[in-house]
Amino acid sequence: MRHAVLLTQNTVSFLNQKAVRASAGSLFRVPILSGFKLDGLVENLRERGFRLVAVNPNGDRDFREGDYQGSTALFIGNEGRGLTRSILDKVDLKVKIPLAMAVESLNVAIASSIILCEVARQRGAGPPIRG
């Protein structure tokens, strides 16, 4: 499996009517696995050789400086609570999305889209974005 979305316990169902509508059906084109315990998932991915990257407002580097070429697991928390300190302490890299001063936070869908666009760019998906 090349790409997948892994959802932890207590995540809203990806089959929720609003999620299905917002994805315009795209969620049926990507493998989605749910019900994972976050700590166990982190350890399992590490053992399998994944680079663990957390998206966090206090990240150490701009997200565009991250290397997403190899097997990479992105951890993106919600805008309310974000990721726990215990998870942030276990990842290999913490990246941030620079925001204009008037913007407090991005919701998880927007943050995910921004990061995944950079992942796709680095992996050579599609033409370069100009402008």
pLDDT digits (tens, 9 = 90+) for 16-29: 787 778 778 777 87
| Residue 31, both tokens | 């493998």
Q: Domain residues of the chain, as ranges?
A: 1-36, 50-122
Task: Give residue-wise pLDDT tens across range 3-14.
Answer: 778 777 777 777
- Range picked from 45-49, 97-101, 123-127 for highest mean pLDDT: 45-49
- Supply the pTM of this predicted model: 0.80
pLDDT band at 128 (very low <50, low <70, confident <90, very high): low
Q: Which fold has domain 50-122?
A: Alpha/beta knot (3.40.1280)
pLDDT for 88 equals 94
- Burial (CB < 10 A; 0-12, 13-18, 19+), residue 80, is exposed
Decide if 90 contacts 51 (C-beta within 8 A).
Answer: no
* pLDDT confidence band for 126 (50 / 70 / 90): low
